[in-house]
């Protein structure tokens, strides 16, 4: 394990504890370097082969934040669950693409459908955020999208669950029903399922998805998971800890049900807070700032891994279970966060176990450059990844592959080592090889930008893909082998 240079004597005394289990010491002790260890360089080498190039798209309205000016804001790649082999990609700027017989084409323009209220040019997560196809899409033609709205929608449309005060954006989930599920472009109907109000342009609804490992007789089958961020308010409020509101939570709903307050979806009886007075029955887990990406391990264990973007220092991976509380905004990762001191994290109190928080199974910290203001963006954010479960690349089997959105670094851990209540799993950094040139590269090289805007995807054979918004390209991981120095 590689250890960073120690910044202070206090960090030196704490390094052994912080590198493994959550920090527990006397309360009110600031931590200079929360996670002293760096990811361990690995001899595993991944070969990346260019798979797709998407057309240039533009955010609306014209962004004031240059981080939104990308070639194409492709957000995920997946496979339509209809045995057709078709793949899909969504672009935050509004387009949904399908790939059939090797050709990509526009299937649906979500942005145009909801214009002029649709926005993608304010906030890094705004726009057409995600699409989730129902596991029985081949039969019922149903799929679900989430997008953001502002403008007239803020006064003419009402959020279904308690909005944050002075909401400036709505996150909206819609159900679409295709007349012909086999068609190459969408024709059919749609209905609104759920609308949430957020107090800023960041940390809205980041992902929606169905559990692909759930069979028809599994109680989780056909239930839609919704990752709702804290709307940027967690740093100044305890919204993520409030079970009476949806912000800062993972929700789980039944799109086919009707027992919700708006009658447009169902609240599963197995949700953990259904019978708790004052709590939203929709909540599955809580205490989150920006639950950015989640995925299930295809091995059938129903393990749900979440990549959670932190505030001051900690980028974390959680093993999610019903009823979990990840602590934000009184915890950041396995450290105490104090709203009155945003410049430091603190060690956990000796009696921390009584609070019942769940801590990361893997994590890294920001290591900001000297002199950077403590509230400034240090340029790090985790993108949750995927567990590889195909035998085509045996050396990659059983590894959870994830990375950093901004600098594009890719890491892996062993899924079997990401265990709740145990030491954080060791993060390893593989080498990357460009299939076209045979040369070792970085994602910055492949993306042609210092800001990669990294994402991951997976097809129906569990093969993994790497996406970059910087140049709108996707690469498939086609090789994985150990390359030791000669």
255/268 Cα distance (integer angstroms): 10
Residues facing residue 316 across a β-bridge = 308, 363
pLDDT tens digits for range 299-345: 978 899 999 999 989 999 999 999 999 999 999 999 999 999 999 99
Contact 455, 76 (CB under 8 A): yes
Contact 322, 272 (CB under 8 A): yes
185/338 Cα distance (integer angstroms): 50
Contact 121, 59 (CB under 8 A): yes
- CATH 3.40.50.970 for the 2-482 domain, yes or no: no
Asked if the model's pLDDT at residue 277 lies above 70, the reply is yes
Contact 67, 451 (CB under 8 A): yes
Per-residue pLDDT, 300: 73
Asked if the model's pLDDT at residue 2 lies above 50, the reply is no
**To the nearest whole percent, how much of the chain has pLDDT over 90?**
91
pLDDT tens digits for range 340-397: 999 999 999 999 999 999 999 999 999 998 889 988 888 999 999 999 999 999 999 9
231/244 Cα distance (integer angstroms): 15
Asked if the model's pLDDT at residue 13 lies above 50, the reply is no
Per-residue pLDDT, 132: 98
- Per-residue burial over 146-185, b if 16 or more Cβ lie within 10 Å, else e, is bbbbbeebbeeeebbbebbeebbbbbbbbbbbbeebeeee
**To the nearest whole percent, how much of the chain has pLDDT over 70?**
94
> How does strand 428-434 pair with strand 40-53?
parallel
Asked if the model's pLDDT at residue 457 lies above 70, the reply is yes
The model's confidence at residue 24, banded by pLDDT at 50, 70 and 90, is: low
The model's confidence at residue 10, banded by pLDDT at 50, 70 and 90, is: very low
pLDDT tens digits for range 213-230: 999 999 999 999 999 999
Asked if the model's pLDDT at residue 442 lies above 80, the reply is yes
Per-residue pLDDT, 28: 77
The stretches of 23-98 forming alpha helices (DSSP H) are none
pLDDT tens digits for range 105-140: 999 999 999 999 999 999 999 999 999 999 999 999
What is the pTM (predicted TM-score) of this model?
0.94
pLDDT tens digits for range 393-437: 999 999 999 999 999 999 999 999 999 999 999 999 999 999 999
Q: Residue ranges per domain, the chain?
A: 2-482
| CA-to-CA separations, 356 to 229, 324, 334, 408, in angstroms, rounded | 21, 8, 12, 34
147/1 Cα distance (integer angstroms): 42
Residue 26: partners with Cβ closer than 8 Å, 6 or more residues away:
347, 350
The model's confidence at residue 3, banded by pLDDT at 50, 70 and 90, is: very low
């Amino acid at each position: 394990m590689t250890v960073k240079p120690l910044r202070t004597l206090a960090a030196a005394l704490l390094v052994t504890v912080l590198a493994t289990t959550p920090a527990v010491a006397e309360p009110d002790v600031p931590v200079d370097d929360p996670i002293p260890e760096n990811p361990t360089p690995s001899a595993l080498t991944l070969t990346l082969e260019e798979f797709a190039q998407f057309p240039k798209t533009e955010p609306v309205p014209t962004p004031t934040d240059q981080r939104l000016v990308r070639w194409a804001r492709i957000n995920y790649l997946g496979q339509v669950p209809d045995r057709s082999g078709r793949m899909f990609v969504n672009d935050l700027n509004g387009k949904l693409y399908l790939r059939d017989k090797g050709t990509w084409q526009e299937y649906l323009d979500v942005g145009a459908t909801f214009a002029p209220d649709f926005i993608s040019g304010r906030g890094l997560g705004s726009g057409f955020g995600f699409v989730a196809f129902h596991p029985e899409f081949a039969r019922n033609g149903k799929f679900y999208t989430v997008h953001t709205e502002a403008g007239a929608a803020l006064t003419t449309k009402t959020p279904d669950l308690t909005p944050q005060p002075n909401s400036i954006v709505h996150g909206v989930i819609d159900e679409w029903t295709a007349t012909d599920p086999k068609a190459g472009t969408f024709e059919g109907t749609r209905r609104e399922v759920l609308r949430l109000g957020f107090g800023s342009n960041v940390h809205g609804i980041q992902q929606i998805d169905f559990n692909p490992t759930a069979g028809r007789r599994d109680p989780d089958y056909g239930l839609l998971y919704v990752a709702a961020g804290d709307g940027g308010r967690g740093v100044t409020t305890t919204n993520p800890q409030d079970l009476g509101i949806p912000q800062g939570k993972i929700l789980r709903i039944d799109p086919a049900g009707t027992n919700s307050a708006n009658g447009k979806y169902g609240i599963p009886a197995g949700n953990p807070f259904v019978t708790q007075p004052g709590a939203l029955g929709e909540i599955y887990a809580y205490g989150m700032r920006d639950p950015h990406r989640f995925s299930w391990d295809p091995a059938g264990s129903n393990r749900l891994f979440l990549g959670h973007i932190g505030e001051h220092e900690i980028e974390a991976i959680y093993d999610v279970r019903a009823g979990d509380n990840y602590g934000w905004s009184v915890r950041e990762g396995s450290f105490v966060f104090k709203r009155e001191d945003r410049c430091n994290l603190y060690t956990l109190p000796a009696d921390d176990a009584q609070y019942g928080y769940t801590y990361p199974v893997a994590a890294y910290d920001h290591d900001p450059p000297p002199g950077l203001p403590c509230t400034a963006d240090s340029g790090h954010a985790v993108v949750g990844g995927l567990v590889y479960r195909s035998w085509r690349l045996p050396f990659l089997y059983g590894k959870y592959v994830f990375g950093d959105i901004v600098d594009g670094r890719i890491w892996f851990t062993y899924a079997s080592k990401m265990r709740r209540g145990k030491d954080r799993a060791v993060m390893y950094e593989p080498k990357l090889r460009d299939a076209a040139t045979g040369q070792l590269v970085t994602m910055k090289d492949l993306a042609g930008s210092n800001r990669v805007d990294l994402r991951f995807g997976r097809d129906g054979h569990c093969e993994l893909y790497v996406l970059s918004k910087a140049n709108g390209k996707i690469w498939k991981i086609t090789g994985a082998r150990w390359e030791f120095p000669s």
